[in-house]
């Protein structure tokens, strides 16, 4: 369901999930290869209204995968509690050229406090419409020792 429908059905949960994607947490993007097998990519994530943004180089596997098959999954993890996460399934609805990093710069600033250093004609931004989204917390205590 779209963010707005999700927000109507479960307002508190939708707010938490949306907040997780809007924070500076690294995302794990799942795309589909040509043969249908999954591939994962660590990505920076931006939020634009009800959509999620993932910017990259035109030549990456994630760009090639999303052009061929627009279905994606994305998750972000809470750094303070690794058993708390937000997940979504969605579909790429638009690809934007981003040579000047108009879309990438705000995302880069969110993560690094600086504009993205690599500009060029190969930069693109994928707009992902959310079809389902949720936030989950597993009832475990993190003990890395």
pLDDT in tens, 74-105: 988 877 777 888 888 999 999 999 999 999 99
Mean per-residue pLDDT, 3-8: 68
pLDDT in tens, 48-74: 888 889 999 999 999 999 999 999 999
DSSP 89-118: EEEEEEEEE-TT-TTHHHHHHHHHSS--S-
In the prediction, which pLDDT does 144 show?
63
Mean per-residue pLDDT, 5-18: 65
The CA-atom distances, in angstroms, between 6 and each of 22, 36, 44, 102, 109 are 16, 28, 23, 29, 28
Domain range annotation of the chain: 3-137
Mean pLDDT, the chain, integer: 86
Range of lowest pLDDT (14-18, 29-33, 63-67, 103-107): 14-18
In the prediction, which pLDDT does 16 show?
64
Class of domain 3-137: mainly beta
In the prediction, which pLDDT does 71 show?
97
């Amino acid at each position: 369901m779209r963010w707005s429908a999700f927000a109507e059905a479960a307002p508190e949960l939708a707010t938490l999930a949306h907040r997780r994607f809007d924070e500076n947490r690294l995302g794990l993007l799942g795309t589909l290869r040509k043969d249908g097998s999954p591939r994962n990519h660590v990505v920076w994530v931006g939020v634009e209204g009800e959509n999620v943004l993932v910017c990259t180089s035109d030549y990456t596997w994630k760009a090639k995968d999303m052009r061929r098959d627009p279905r994606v999954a994305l998750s972000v993890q809470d750094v303070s509690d690794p058993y708390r996460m937000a997940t979504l399934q969605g579909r790429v609805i638009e690809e934007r050229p981003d040579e000047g990093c108009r879309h990438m710069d705000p995302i880069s600033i969110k993560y690094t406090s600086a504009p993205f250093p690599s500009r060029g004609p190969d930069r693109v931004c994928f707009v992902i419409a959310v079809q389902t989204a949720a936030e989950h917390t597993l009832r475990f205590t993190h003990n890395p020792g």
